[in-house]
Amino acid sequence: MTPDYTTTARHADSRRPARRTEHFVADVSETPLQVTDRVKDEAAPLSLWGEAWKNLRKQPLFLISAFLILVVVAVSVFPGMFSQIDPTSEACQLANSDAGPAAGHPLGFTQQGCDVYARVIFGTRSSVTVGLFTTIGVLLIGGILGAVAGYYGGWIDSVLARINDIFFALPLILGAIVMMQLPMFRTNKTVWTLVLILVIFGWPQIARITRGAVIEVRNADFVTAARSLGVSKFGALMRHVMPNSLAPIIVVATISLGTFIVAESTLSFLGIGLPPSVMSWGNDIQAAQASLRSNPMPLLYPAIALSITVLSFIMLGDALRDALDPKARKR
Amino acid sequence: MSASVDFQEAEYATERPLLEIKDLAIGFTTSNGEVNAVRNAHLTVMPGETVAIVGESGSGKSTTALAAIGLLPGNGRVAAGQILFDGEDISNASEKRMIELRGNSIGMVPQDPMSNLNPVWKIGDQVRETLKANGLPSGPDDVAKVLSQAGLPDAGSRAKQYPHEFSGGMRQRALIAIGLACQPRLLIADEPTSALDVTVQRQILDHLDKMTTELGTAVLLITHDLGLAAERADQVVVMYRGQVVESGPSLELLQNPQHPYTQRLVASAPSLASRRIQAAKELGVETDDMLAPSETGVVEPAKSDDVLQIQNLRKVFKLRSGLGKSTDFTAVDDISFNVKRGTTTAIVGESGSGKSTVAQMVLNLLTPTSGKIIFDGVDTSTLNSKELFAFRRRVQPIFQDPYGSLDPMYNIFRTIEEPLRTHKIGDKASREKKVRELLDQVALPQSTMQRYPNELSGGQRQRVAIARALALDPEVIICDEAVSALDVLVQAQVLNLLAELQSRLGLTYLFITHDLAVVRQIADRVCVMEKGKLVETGSTDDVFESPQQDYTRALLNAIPGAGLMLPPEMDVA
C-alpha cells in the first residue's frame, strides 16, 4: 500500500489535504422526523399470556394436541357418551373370547370376552385421574419447596437440595415396587394410593425447575423495586417472583402429566399399580399379554390410546415452551 | 474551489473506493411479513479511511455493516442495491467467495467482549484458528506477535490463558487482535468499546487507531456515540430508521448539521453538551431549549438542609475462598458526603468502584458494615420495621435496565398503582386518578395504563419507572444508571423530564452513573469514586473545570469528543 493512501491524519492536520468528501444531506421529506419515543397505540394491549395465546392459536402442534387432550378429557369425564356397552367383567361373555370385530363391537373382544372398545373408553378415566392429580400434587409440593429453597437460599436451600437429591436418586419404579409392598398400601390399592406414591417420587423434578426459575427472577430489578416500595419479602415472592416463574413450571408439568400416565400404566402392568378390579389401560395391556400371539388386538388398542394421550401432553408442553420462551419476551 | 483542491481531486480520481455501498435495501422476513430494515443506504470507504456509522438502536447501522461482510441473519437478505468491495459486487456473492474475503480482506471486531470469545478455548488457539483459516503461518511465535501488536503485554504467556482470566479490556484487545490478525484491508468494528469503562475505551480506541494507521487498514466504525464517531472518524454517516440521513466529513457534520435529525443528535449528545440541563420552560420542548446558556436558572431549594448524610460508610463483603476460609473484599471504604435537599448529587465511577453498593445501602437494601446513613436527621440503621416502611415511602429507586425494572406480568396501571396499594393510600377511584396524573407528569398518554411493559420502548419503560417512583411523593430518588441503557435522544428526553420534575416537586436526586458527560448535564455536586474510595468531591463546575485528582482528570479526558470544537451556536460559554 502506498503512503499516499494513508490519510489517517485527522481534522487538525492541515499538511495533507483531506480527501474530498461531499456533505450529503437526505431530503427531509423522504426521511421524515418522528416524535422521539412515541407510544404506539394502534394495537390492542396484550399481556404476556395474551401474546402467548396469540402465538399458540396459530401453531398446528398446539391445535392438534389441544384437540386430542380435549377428546381424552371428555372421554374420561363422560365415558357413557362414547360407549353404551358395559365393559365390566360381569357383562363379559366368555363365548366371545378373543373374537374379532363384530357389529357394535368395532375392536373385537378380550380373552375374557369383554368389548375392547368399551374397555379402552372406560379405562381412560383412571389413567387421566392418576396423571392429573399426581401433577397437581407434584406442583404443590415441588412448587412450594422449590420456591422456598430458591427464594430464601442459604441453609434452607442446602437442606432442601439434599432431600431433593435423595428422592431424585431413587428410581421411580423401584421405589414404587418397594412402597407398594408396605402393609398399608398392599391391602388398600386405589387410584389415590397410586397418586400418593407417584407424588412422593415425582416432586423433586418440579422442585428443581421451580428453584431455578425463582433464582433467575428473584434478583430482577422489579423485585428490588417492589421491596424498596415497602412490599414484604414474602409478598414480593407471591406477587412478583412466582407469577414470573410459572412459564417453565407449566411446561414441565404438562410434559410430566404424560409421563405420570405412563408410570401408572407401567405399575399396573407390573401388577403393583391399580388393582385388576379397576379398569385402566395398564391393567388391560397386562391382561392381554397372555394372548399376545394369538390375538394381539386387545393389547394394541389400549396401547394406542395410551400413546396418543401421552404424546398429546408432550406435544402440548413443547408448544407451550415455544410460546412462553423467555427469550422471545424481549423481542 | 482552489487549484490545489482540483489537483487533489485529480489525484484521487484514479483511486477506487475500498467499500462502496449503493442504494442498499435489506429486508427481513418475519412472522409479520417482510420488514425493511435498511433503505437507500449508501456510503463510501476509501482505502485507509475511517468511516463511522452513527445511529440509535434499530436504525439499521449494524445490519448495513453485517451485510458488507455477508453475515446477515438467516431471515435477512439484500433486497436491492450493490455492495462493492474493491470494485467487486459482493451483495449476493456465494458463501465460498465470502469465506475467502472474510478475515484476510474484511475483518470484524464484534461488540460484546464477554460473549464473543469461546470460553473453552485458550486465547492463543482462537487467534491461531483465524490465522489457519486464512492460510497464514500459525506457530506460537506468530500468535504471540499478533497479540502483542494488539497491545497485550506478555503475549506469549497470555496466549495460554482462557478468556475468563482476561478483563473486559484485555478481551477486547484479543478480539481486535483476531480481527486484524490477517491484516485485512477493511475492519468492521461494531460498537467495539460500548461495554467498557471510559478510560479503557480510550486506550483501546487509541490503540486501534495506531494499528490501523500502521497497517493502512480502512475502518468502518459503528457507534451510537456521535462524540466518539466525530473524534475517531474522517467521515460520519448518520442513519435514522434504516436510511442514511446525512453524511460528510466528521467535523463539518458536527459543526454544521443540516438534517433535522442530525441537529437533534448533536444537540442531545451528552459528551458534546457543555452545560447543565435546565428544567425545560415548556412541556414538550425537545431539543432547542435543552442547553441553556448559563447556571443562573439552577433551582434554589427552599430549605437547604442536608436531607442525606453519609458518614464513614463501609461495606465489606466476605468472599469464599476454599474450605471455611473467606477473604474480605471492601466494596465501599470509609466514604462521607452530604446531599442537600432539592439538589442532584452524582456518584461517578467505573465498574467495580462501589457506587451501586452505596446506592443499595442508601435504599436500605444492604446493611452497612460500619458507618451511618442519616436521612432527614434519623440514622436509618436504627429504624424498626414500621419506621422502615415509612422510610420506603420517602426514598425511591429508579434502576438502569428498563427491561428488568418492570414486572412483565403487571400492566402499567398495576405497576404504578402497586406502591399506592402497598401503602394503603386512597380507594380504587382515587388511586386510578393518581395513576393518570402520574402518567401525565412523565408525558405518557393515559391510554398507556392498559399496556404491558413488553409493548413499550426502553425510554417509555423508564418513564413508567419514574412514575412508579413518584407515586408515593418521595423526597429522595436514587437513580442507579437510570439513563445509561437509553439512546441519546431518549436519554436527553428522560434527563429533561427528571430536571423538570425536580424543579416542580423539589426532589433530591442521588444519581449513580459511569458517564461523566451525563453528570455534567444534570448534577449540582459530584462524588468521584475509585475502588471503593471517594477520591474527589465538589460542585460539578469545579470538578469539571479544575479536577484535583489524576483519576478524575483521566476520566474527564476519556469522554469521547470532549476535546472537539463545538459548533459556535452550541458553544455558548
Q: What is the ipTM of this complex?
A: 0.73
Partner B contacted by A103 (CB < 8 A): no
What are residue A154's phi and psi, to 5 degrees? 65, -145
CB contact under 8 A, B450 and A46: no
Top-confidence residue, B340 or B517: B340
Confidence of residue B56 (pLDDT cuts 50, 70, 90): confident
- The neighbouring-strand residues paired with B527 are B347, B537
Cα–Cα dist A60/B473, whole Å: 50
Chain B hits for A330, Cβ within 8 Å = 403, 454
Do the beta carbons of residue A270 and residue A280 sit within 8 Å?
no
CB contact under 8 A, B419 and A230: yes
The fraction of chain B above a pLDDT of 90, given in percent, is 15
Q: Domain range holding A127?
A: 49-77+117-326
Window 235-294 of A: residues touching B by CB (8 A cutoff) are 235, 240, 243-244
Top-confidence residue, B276 or A78: A78
Cα–Cα dist B354/B338, whole Å: 17
Q: Name the residue of chain A whose CA is nearest to B50's CA.
A: A8
- Smallest CA–CA distance, residue B437 to chain A, in Å, is 17
What are residue B46's phi and psi, to 5 degrees? -85, 160
Window 34-53 of B: residues touching A by CB (8 A cutoff) are 40, 44, 46-50
Do the beta carbons of residue B462 and residue B449 sit within 8 Å?
no
In a domain, A312, yes or no: yes
Best A1, A2, A13, A19 member to test B by mutation, with max B CBs in 10 Å, is A19
- Smallest CA–CA distance, residue B292 to chain A, in Å, is 21
Chain A hits for B213, Cβ within 8 Å = 6, 8
In a domain, A285, yes or no: yes
In a domain, A223, yes or no: yes
pLDDT in tens, B480-537: 888 887 888 888 888 888 988 898 888 999 999 888 888 888 889 999 998 889 999 9
Confidence of residue B219 (pLDDT cuts 50, 70, 90): very high
Task: Walk across the sheet containing B88-89 and list its strands.
Answer: B33-45, B19-30, B76-85, B88-89
Asked whether the predicted pLDDT for residue B397 surpasses 60, the reply is yes
Best B211, B290, B409, B476 member to test A by mutation, with max A CBs in 10 Å, is B409
pLDDT in tens, B286-308: 334 344 333 444 444 444 578 88
Counting as low any pLDDT under 50, the low residues of chain A are 1-17, 328-331
CB contact under 8 A, A45 and B490: no
Cell of B334: 470509609
In a domain, A314, yes or no: yes
CB contact under 8 A, B213 and A330: no
Let me know if domain B14-105+186-269 sits in CATH 3.40.50.620: no
- Smallest CA–CA distance, residue B444 to chain A, in Å, is 8
Q: What is the CATH number of domain B306-320+330-557?
A: 3.40.50.300
B14-105+186-269 and B306-320+330-557: same fold? yes
Chain A hits for B450, Cβ within 8 Å = 45
Tell me what pLDDT residue A324 has: 78
Best B387, B398, B418 member to test A by mutation, with max A CBs in 10 Å, is B418
Average pLDDT over residues B47-60: 88
Strand B243-249 versus strand A24-25 pairing type? antiparallel
- Span between the terminal Cα atoms of chain A, in Å: 45
What are residue B349's phi and psi, to 5 degrees? 180, 165
Asked whether the predicted pLDDT for residue B326 surpasses 80, the reply is no
Cell of B389: 416502611
Tell me what pLDDT residue A7 has: 35
Do the beta carbons of residue A198 and residue A260 sit within 8 Å?
yes
- Smallest CA–CA distance, residue A217 to chain B, in Å, is 10
Tell me what pLDDT residue A275 has: 83
Tell me what pLDDT residue B292 has: 39
Q: Name the residue of chain A whose CA is nearest to B364's CA.
A: A228
CB contact under 8 A, A231 and B418: yes
Helices B198-215 and B168-180, interaxial angle, to 10°? Answer: 20
In a domain, A267, yes or no: yes
CB contact under 8 A, A17 and B286: no
Cα–Cα dist B26/B59, whole Å: 12
Window 15-54 of A: residues touching B by CB (8 A cutoff) are 17-26, 28, 30-31, 33-34, 36-37, 39-41, 43, 45-48, 51
- Smallest CA–CA distance, residue B464 to chain A, in Å, is 12
Confidence of residue B392 (pLDDT cuts 50, 70, 90): confident
Q: Where are the domains of chain B?
A: 14-105+186-269, 116-183, 306-320+330-557
In a domain, A104, yes or no: no
Best A2, A4, A7, A54 member to test B by mutation, with max B CBs in 10 Å, is A7
Chain B hits for A218, Cβ within 8 Å = none
Chain A hits for B567, Cβ within 8 Å = none
Q: What is the mean pLDDT of chain B?
A: 82
Window 47-86 of A: residues touching B by CB (8 A cutoff) are 47-48, 51
Q: How many helices (H) and strands (E) does chain A have?
A: 13, 1
Best A2, A4, A6 member to test B by mutation, with max B CBs in 10 Å, is A6
If one counts the domains in chain A, the total is 1
Q: Which of B14-23, B183-192, B272-281 has the lowest mean pLDDT?
A: B272-281
Spatial neighbors of A213 by CB under 8 A, at least 6 apart, are A150, A245, A247, A248, A249
Average pLDDT over residues B199-223: 88
Q: Name the residue of chain A whose CA is nearest to B242's CA.
A: A31
Partner A contacted by B206 (CB < 8 A): no
CB contact under 8 A, B460 and A46: no
Q: Name the residue of chain B whose CA is nearest to A55's CA.
A: B31
The fraction of chain B above a pLDDT of 70, given in percent, is 88
pLDDT in tens, B439-480: 988 888 888 888 888 888 888 888 899 999 999 889 999 998
Window 416-435 of B: residues touching A by CB (8 A cutoff) are 418-419, 422-423
Window 210-239 of A: residues touching B by CB (8 A cutoff) are 220-222, 224-231, 235
Residue type, B184: P
Tell me what pLDDT residue B564 has: 63
Question: Residue A226's domain is classified under what CATH number?
Answer: 1.10.3720.10
CB contact under 8 A, A240 and B264: no
Tell me what pLDDT residue A9 has: 38
Partner B contacted by A12 (CB < 8 A): no
Tell me what pLDDT residue B441 has: 87
pLDDT in tens, A76-128: 998 888 877 777 766 677 777 767 777 777 777 777 778 888 888 888 998 89
CB contact under 8 A, A225 and B392: no
* Of A83, A98, A91, A85, residue with least CA distance to A298: A98
* HEC letters along B467-497: HHHHCCCCCEEEEECCCCCCCHHHHHHHHHH
In a domain, A28, yes or no: no
Residue type, B228: L
Do the beta carbons of residue B554 and residue B349 sit within 8 Å?
no
Do the beta carbons of residue B163 and residue B117 sit within 8 Å?
yes
Q: Mapping DSSP to helix (H, G, I), strand (E, B) and coil, where does residue B53 land?
A: strand
Chain A hits for B247, Cβ within 8 Å = 21, 23-24
